[in-house]
Chain A
Amino acid sequence: SYEVTQSFSVSVALGQTARITCGGKNIGRKNVHWYQQKPGQAPVLVIYRDINRPSGIPERISGSNSGNTATLTISRAQAGDEADYYCQVWDSSTGVFGGGTKLTVL
């Protein structure tokens, strides 16, 4: 089965740039989606198909995907960005989530 790996945690200083990665074999050939989940809440889609933002998601949140790594970038990090972030792909018609990355804004 296809495996997707994420760092357990990432820390970023307020106002700086955070990068959260999602690793998988040739993941650049897949569509990667990203979800933000705050404590006690359902996940919210923040990036779809590698680089696209749903309406209401700020431009300072962006995505990229190439080779074996997809990256979610959060610029000018704010306290409200503190959350768990999950990447998601499909492989052989099976939905696969990464293990999640906890973003801490210092």
Chain B
Amino acid sequence: QVQLQESGPGLVKPSETLSLTCTVSGGSISSYYWSWIRQPPGKGLEWIGYIYYSGSTNYNPSLKSRVTISLDTSKNQFSLQLTSVTAADTAVYYCATMGVSTSYFDYWGRGTLVTVSS
């Protein structure tokens, strides 16, 4: 069974870059779509984007200008970078998997809270 674990700084200053990593265990990263999803405190879920194992990416249009998702197959990890953050980017960030032909998120990490504050 695939397990996911997010890691990264819990506090980021405004205007700086948020960087998170998701480590995959129990399965190969050389398959599936690998996604990031976030949830502001007390609010709903927002899909950020995904990377396919081939390296192709797809981002939410509302965040596209600030988001980069990358893959490191040698470490079984994928990463999120979100630039020019503001307080509105404060959220729990989840990594999740989606099968090649499934379109749903079947495995999720526990999530990590990132606060944007000076």
- A: residues with CB less than 8 A from B are 1, 31, 33, 35, 41-45, 48-49, 54, 86, 88, 90, 93-100
Q: What is the size category of the interface that chain B forms with chain A?
A: 20 to 34
CB-CB contacts below 8 Å: B45-61 with A = 45-47, 50, 58, 60-61
Taking A42-B109, A99-B44 as given, write out 16 further A-B residue pairs in contact, using a Cβ cutoff of 8 Å, ordered by the A residue number. Answer: A31-B103, A33-B104, A35-B105, A41-B110, A42-B110, A43-B108, A45-B105, A88-B47, A88-B105, A93-B58, A94-B47, A94-B61, A95-B37, A97-B44, A97-B45, A97-B46
Contact partners of B104 in chain A: CB under 8 A: 31, 33, 45, 48-49, 88
Contact partners of A96 in chain B: CB under 8 A: 47
B2-28 CB mask vs A (1 if < 8 Å, else 0) is 000000000000000000000000000
The 5 tightest CB contacts between A and B, nearest first, are: A95-B47, A33-B104, A42-B108, A97-B45, A100-B44
Bound together, the chains give a CA A44 to CA B106 distance in angstroms of 8
Task: State whether A100 touches B106 (Cβ < 8 A).
Answer: no
Within 8 Å of chain A (Cβ to Cβ): is B65? no
Contact partners of A100 in chain B: CB under 8 A: 44-45
Contact partners of B94 in chain A: CB under 8 A: 42-43
Identify the interface centre among B35, B44, B104, B110: most chain A CB within 10 Å of its CB. B104
Across the interface, name the chain B residue whose C-beta is closest to A98: B44
Bound together, the chains give a CA A103 to CA B5 distance in angstroms of 28
A40, chain B: closest CB distance, angstroms: 9
Task: State whether A86 touches B45 (Cβ < 8 A).
Answer: yes
Can you give 30 contacting A-B residue pairs, CB < 8 Å? A1-B61, A31-B104, A33-B103, A33-B104, A42-B94, A42-B108, A42-B110, A42-B111, A43-B94, A45-B104, A45-B105, A48-B106, A49-B104, A86-B44, A86-B45, A88-B47, A88-B105, A90-B103, A94-B47, A94-B61, A95-B35, A95-B37, A95-B47, A95-B50, A95-B60, A97-B44, A97-B46, A99-B44, A100-B44, A100-B45
